Amino acid sequence: MTAAMHARSTADVTPIVEVRAISKRFTRKPDLAERIAGALGARVDLRTVHAVDDVDLAILPGEVVGLVGESGCGKSTLGRMIAGILPKSGGEFFHEGVESAAWTPLQRHAAVLAVQMIFQDPMSSLNPRKKVRDIIGEAAVVHGMTSRAAQGDYVADLMRKVGLDPAYMRRYPHQFSGGQRQRIGIARALAVKPRFLVCDEAVAALDVSIQAQVLNLFMDLRQEFNLTYLFISHDLGVVEHLSDRVAIMYLGRIVEMAPTEALYAAPNHPYTKALLEEVPRIGAGKRTFAPVRGEIPSPVAPPPGCHFHPRCPFAMDRCKTVRPVLRAIGSGRWSACHLNDAT
Amino acid sequence: MAEPLLSIRDLHTHFDTKAGIVKAVNGVSFDVAPGEILGLVGESGSGKSITGFSILGLIQQPGRIVGGSIRFAGEELVGAETTRLRQLRGRDIAMIFQDPMMTLNPVLRIDTQIVEAILAHENVGRAVALGRARDALAKVGIPSPEERLKAYPHQFSGGMRQRVAIAIALLHRPRLIICDEPTTALDVTIQAQIIHEMRLLCQEQGTALIWITHDLAVVDSLADRLCVMYAGRIVEQGPAGAVIAEPAHPYTRGLIDSIPSRNSRGARLKQIPGMAPSPLALPAGCPFRPRCSYADDACLNEPSSIGVGAGRDARCVHPLVARVPA
């Protein structure tokens, strides 16, 4: 399937960012006793968390990809690897078709600047002791987008673009409301002229009315700067509103990927179906939920075979042993489920 | 309506701060009938949680209830003795918080905490209490309750912790449970499980619920009636279906339009301009006036509550649905 995806992506346009079979493993560091035991030849069991497990994802220029999953499914870890702020444990990372191992210093520089990230909590991602002017403008000066002398104008221009009053340039982050802080985070990301923004739960901490303002801002900026987005969220409504394509993650793997309309109209994977059924929707009125049983298993000891089988109402014997691969099930649609094997 | 279980009239809860008096709850009135699910909706700082805390008498310095009345089953709670409130809390009125880690003591086992809650209100033996604790966990869908009783809160997942908090709230079959954003910190699949089970359990026991949330979509699928709060006031209330389908207050309309939905794909969301006013510097008249597209000079006077349909009222000079004298 990697080959198939590869063929598709090279046939059309070079993806701005592509990851192939990328994984991230977190292993606990051995403590002193364990190191001694290990040195003496004892078998020390250090548990490894497979946060991201063999994921392929190609993001084409100009598209908005939504990445959806519940807490602990590895969506933030994948987003951080794509943004280049977390090293991968395995797999390949391509920027503009060039693998990260083959980058020249110049390409590395371009790749790092082209992808910027916006975080969930703007209070913990903005330095509380710096003025907004420096938070937004520092990286731009360092990277030569503007000069120290022109920093004020450069920052003022960015602040206007994200809907902040440039008169507040000399204030500190705590003097702003949550929505305004998120705008500062967006201006900071835009300051180095990126082509691709990774937004990790960027509106989750905001009130509904403020969330709508920030979502509209994202859409305006997409037009203005021709941006590409990876929009990571647990909120299916927000993702549906914004994305062209949606990928659903479960316990470190992408289980389904499809154009937004197709996915919401006819979800294929049982997990996607369960997710969509359980989202409370406004205007639907009172209804009963038919919740999927159980909880997301621990990524330390994921179930064998399909990770979803213990909660899946359609689980068969094969699901308990064989890992289903992500296969094409229609135009642009991919799903990792044994139920599709028969067809 | 039958005799309401809870009746709040003109409640004012203020906080004295160095910068001035924050009127967190500023003249709130509503009723909850026995067995009814009331959704209390608002954005951060609208006073919805403080309203919930006021009912239980949990307002601490520098906050205080400065006026109004809270009658629970005919009994006045404002100014009631602390000992009387302690009797009511947990037995007749229970509360479930957003973060179950806040309600559960991290250094005590679950069985200790549940037994303590039982013995606080009932004179039973420890063995009986332990048995009841086990049944309570089983009822909220915690697998192998016998073993889980011996666990500490950190050994549970977020969803399971919230179930423990719900089990404790249900112990004494309270007549009213106040849920303050109980599913906000949970994943959608777990949220659906909790909502599903809460509703079944309350139907079974005839418990009334006040469901405090910022998420209109959640209350729409759950609540019988809805109160929308803004800047310490209830700006609109009525049957949930009617309010969502045809909101009377421009703020409610704006909130509903702000939610991304199936129909909004690709289009700009209709946003409410500006942000909620500082509670220290509320604009004169209608507090929503500076953000409202219908505002005019008439809004400079504080609007009073007007009837806008069966069991519905709104605090607006220019309601979006026809006025119906109550």
- Best mutation target, B203, B226, B258, B291, to test chain A (most A CBs within 10 A): B258
Coil/strand/helix, residue A317: coil
* Identity at B298, one-letter amino acid code: A
The neighbour count for residue A122, using CB atoms within 10 Å, is: 23
Inter-chain CB proximity A291 and B269 less than 8 Å: no
Find tokens 């590409």 and name the residue: A228
Check whether B298 has a pLDDT greater than 70. yes
Q: What is the mean pLDDT of chain B?
A: 89
Whether residue A118 contacts residue A200, with contact meaning beta carbons closer than 8 Å, is answered with: yes
Nearest to A212 among B160, B241, B271 (CB): B271
Q: Which residue has the higher pLDDT, B275 or B77?
A: B77
Q: What is the dihedral of CA A276, A278, A283, A287, to 10 degrees?
A: 140
Q: Report the alpha-carbon angle B241-B247-B252, nearest 5.
A: 110
Inter-chain CB proximity B221 and A287 less than 8 Å: yes
Cβ contacts of B223 within 8 Å, gap of 6 or more: A286, B37, B38, B39, B211, B240
Check whether A4 has a pLDDT greater than 50. no
Per-residue model confidence as pLDDT tens digits over B105-147: 999 999 999 999 999 999 999 999 999 999 989 888 888 888 8
Q: How far apart are CA A161 and CA A217, in angstroms?
A: 9
For the record, the structure tokens of B180 come out as 């303050």
DSSP 8-class letter at A164:
-
Provide the β-strand partners of residue B209. Answer: B37, B177
Check whether A276 has a pLDDT greater than 50. yes
The DSSP bridge pattern shows strands A333-335 and B6-17 to be unpaired
Nearest to A289 among B159, B196, B223 (CB): B196
Averaged pLDDT for residues A261-282: 89
The DSSP bridge pattern shows strands B233-239 and B63-72 to be unpaired
The neighbour count for residue A87, using CB atoms within 10 Å, is: 10
The pLDDT value given to residue B201 = 81
A39 by Cβ neighbours in 10 Å (0-12 / 13-18 / 19+) ranks as: exposed
Q: Which residue has the higher pLDDT, B93 or A289?
A: B93
Q: What is the mean pLDDT of chain A?
A: 88
Q: How far apart are CA A248 and CA A40, in angstroms?
A: 45
Chain A, chain B: beta-carbon pairs less than 8 Å apart: 140
Q: How far apart are CA B191 and CA B137, in angstroms?
A: 18
Provide the β-strand partners of residue A261. Answer: none
Check whether A49 has a pLDDT greater than 50. yes
First to last CA, chain B: 14
Among the listed residues B183, B169, B102, the one whose alpha carbon sits nearest the alpha carbon of residue B139:
B169
Check whether A20 has a pLDDT greater than 50. yes
Tell me if chain A has a CB within 8 Å of the CB of B241: yes
Whether residue A187 contacts residue A161, with contact meaning beta carbons closer than 8 Å, is answered with: yes
Whether residue A255 contacts residue A271, with contact meaning beta carbons closer than 8 Å, is answered with: yes
Cβ contacts of A313 within 8 Å, gap of 6 or more: A270, A292
Among the listed residues B49, B48, B62, B57, the one whose alpha carbon sits nearest the alpha carbon of residue B19:
B62
For the record, the structure tokens of B288 come out as 């929503």
Helix (H) or strand (E) holding B169: helix B158-170
**Residues of B whose CB is below 8 A from A275:** 188-189
DSSP 8-class letter at A19:
E
Cβ contacts of B144 within 8 Å, gap of 6 or more: none
Whether residue A186 contacts residue A199, with contact meaning beta carbons closer than 8 Å, is answered with: no
CATH 3.40.50.300 fits A2-243, yes or no: yes
Cβ contacts of A45 within 8 Å, gap of 6 or more: none
**Residues of A whose CB is below 8 A from B273:** 213
Whether residue A16 contacts residue A96, with contact meaning beta carbons closer than 8 Å, is answered with: yes
DSSP 8-class letter at A245:
E
Nearest-neighbour CA in chain A from B261: distance (Å): 6
* Identity at A181, one-letter amino acid code: R
The neighbour count for residue B85, using CB atoms within 10 Å, is: 14
Coil/strand/helix, residue A227: coil
Inter-chain CB proximity A295 and B159 less than 8 Å: yes
Q: How far apart are CA B298 and CA B316, in angstroms?
A: 10
Among the listed residues B313, B319, B234, the one whose alpha carbon sits nearest the alpha carbon of residue B26:
B234
The pLDDT value given to residue A179 = 87
Is the peptide bond between B62 and the residue preceding it cis, with omega within 30 degrees of 0? yes
Q: How far apart are CA B55 and CA B6, in angstroms?
A: 9
**Residues of A whose CB is below 8 A from B270:** 212
Domain parsing of chain A, residue ranges: 2-243, 254-281+290-343
- Best mutation target, A236, A246, A286, to test chain B (most B CBs within 10 A): A286
Q: Report the alpha-carbon angle B124-B127-B128, nearest 5.
A: 50
> Which band of pLDDT confidence, cut at 50, 70 and 90, is reported for residue A2?
very low
Among the listed residues A167, A200, A218, A226, the one whose alpha carbon sits nearest the alpha carbon of residue A75:
A200
Per-residue model confidence as pLDDT tens digits over A51-64: 898 999 999 999 99
Whether residue B320 contacts residue B304, with contact meaning beta carbons closer than 8 Å, is answered with: no
A6 by Cβ neighbours in 10 Å (0-12 / 13-18 / 19+) ranks as: middle
The pLDDT value given to residue A279 = 81
Check whether B326 has a pLDDT greater than 60. no
Check whether A7 has a pLDDT greater than 50. no
**Domain range B6-260, CATH class:** alpha beta
Check whether B325 has a pLDDT greater than 80. no
**How would you list the strands of the sheet with A64-68, edge to edge?**
A115-118, A196-200, A228-233, A64-68, A245-250, A253-259, A333-335, A327-330
Q: How far apart are CA A247 and CA B277, in angstroms?
A: 38
Per-residue model confidence as pLDDT tens digits over B141-163: 888 888 889 999 988 888 888 88
> Which band of pLDDT confidence, cut at 50, 70 and 90, is reported for residue A230?
very high
The pLDDT value given to residue B100 = 80
Nearest to A70 among B189, B216, B241 (CB): B189
Nearest CA in chain B to A164: B274
The torsion angles phi and psi of B24, rounded to 5 degrees, stand at -65, -40
Check whether A330 has a pLDDT greater than 60. yes
> Which band of pLDDT confidence, cut at 50, 70 and 90, is reported for residue B229?
very high
> Which band of pLDDT confidence, cut at 50, 70 and 90, is reported for residue A3?
very low
Inter-chain CB proximity A284 and B220 less than 8 Å: yes
Whether residue A2 contacts residue A20, with contact meaning beta carbons closer than 8 Å, is answered with: yes
**Residues of A whose CB is below 8 A from B278:** none
First to last CA, chain A: 17
Inter-chain CB proximity B258 and A209 less than 8 Å: yes
Burial B25-43 (b: 16+ CB within 10 A, else e): bbbbbbbbbebbbbbbbbb
